[in-house]
Amino acid sequence: MKHMTEEELIAFLEGVASERPEIAGHLSECTSCRAELKRIEAVLAALDTLPVPDPGEGYGRRVWQQIAPRLPERPSRWWQAWLEPKRLAAIGSFAAMILLAFYIGRISKPVSPGNVTVSQEQVRERILVVAVGAHLGRTEMMLVELSNTEPRDRNQKQVNISAEQHRAEDLLEENRLYRQTALNQGDAQLASILDELERVLLDVAHSPDEVTPAQLEAIRQKIESRGILFKVRVVGKELQQRERTSAPAPAQNYSSKKERNKV
Amino acid sequence: MNRMRTTSENAQAIAANDALAVERTLAGERDAFRILVERHSRTVFRLAYRMTGNRQDAEEVVQEAFLRAYQNLARFAGTSNFGTWVYRIAANYAIDRMRHRKKEDARRVLHEPMNEEGIQDDPMAKVEDAKPTPERLTQSMELRKQMEAALAALSHAERTAFVMRHWEGCGIEEISVVLKSSSSATKNTVFRAVQKLRQALQPFVGTGEQARAMGMES
The nearest CA of chain B is from the CA of A3 a distance in Å of 17
Bridge partner residues of A18 (DSSP): none
Note the residue count of chain B.
Answer: 218
* Chains A & B: contacts with CB separation below 8 Å: 171
Radius of gyration (C-alpha) of chain B in whole angstroms:
19
Rounded-to-10 torsion of CA B77, B81, B83, B85: -30
Reply yes or no on whether the pLDDT at A37 is more than 70.
yes
DSSP classification of residue A102: H
Distance of CA B80 to the CA centre of its chain: 20
What confidence tier does A89 reach under pLDDT thresholds 50, 70, 90? low
Nearest Cα residue to B64 out of B101, B89, B36, B35? B89
Cα–Cα dist A195/A179, whole Å = 7
Q: What's the mean pLDDT in B11-37? A: 83
Residue B63, pLDDT score: 96
According to the model, what pLDDT value does residue A252 have? 43
Q: Which residue of A has its CA nearest to B106?
A: A209
pLDDT by residue (tens digit) across B109-158?
455 555 544 444 444 443 344 444 555 555 567 888 899 999 999 999 99
- ipTM score for this prediction: 0.74
Q: pLDDT (tens digit, 9 = 90+) per residue, B29-88? A: 888 999 999 999 999 999 999 999 999 999 999 999 999 999 988 887 666 689 889 999
Is the pLDDT confidence value at A39 over 80? Answer: yes
pLDDT band at A81 (very low <50, low <70, confident <90, very high): low
Question: Do B207 and A44 count as a contact with CB atoms less than 8 A apart?
Answer: no
| pLDDT value of position A87 | 56
- Chain A residues in contact with B181 by the CB 8 A cut-off are 176, 198, 202
| pLDDT, position B122 | 43
Q: Which of B70, B144, B202 sits opposite A43 (nearest CB)?
A: B202
Range with the largest mean pLDDT of A250-259, B61-70, B95-104, B133-142: B61-70
Mutate to test the interface with A, among B23, B45, B178 (most CBs of A within 10 A): B45
> How much is the average pLDDT of A148-175?
78
B115 and chain A in contact, CB less than 8 A:
no
Task: In whole angstroms, give the CA distance from residue A201 to residue A195.
Answer: 10
User: A45, B208: Cβ pair inside 8 Å?
Assistant: yes
The yes-or-no verdict on residue A184 having pLDDT over 80 is: no
Helix (H) or strand (E) holding A210: strand A210-211
Q: What pLDDT shows up at residue A23? A: 92
What is the CB-side half-sphere exposure of residue A80 using CA atoms within 13 A?
A: 9
- The tens digit of pLDDT for each residue in A127-138 reads 777 778 888 888
Chain A neighbours among B 170-199 (CB < 8 Å)? 172, 180-182, 184-185, 187-192, 194-195, 197-198
d(CA A226, CA A216): 16
pLDDT at B163 over 90: yes
Of residues A78 and A236, more confidently modeled: A236
**Nearest CA distance, B69 vs chain A (angstrom):** 9
Q: How far apart are CA A66 and CA B65, in angstroms?
A: 13
Chain A residues close to B40, C-beta within 8 Å: 60
Q: In the beta sheet, which residues pair with residue A159?
A: A211
How far does CA A25 lie from the centroid of its chain? 34
For residues A209 and A152, the answer to whether their CB atoms sit within 8 Å is no
Which residue did the predictor score with more confidence, B64 or A197?
B64
Q: Considering only alpha carbons, which residue of chain B is nearest residue A34?
A: B207
Is B143 in the A-facing interface, judged by CB distances under 8 Å?
yes
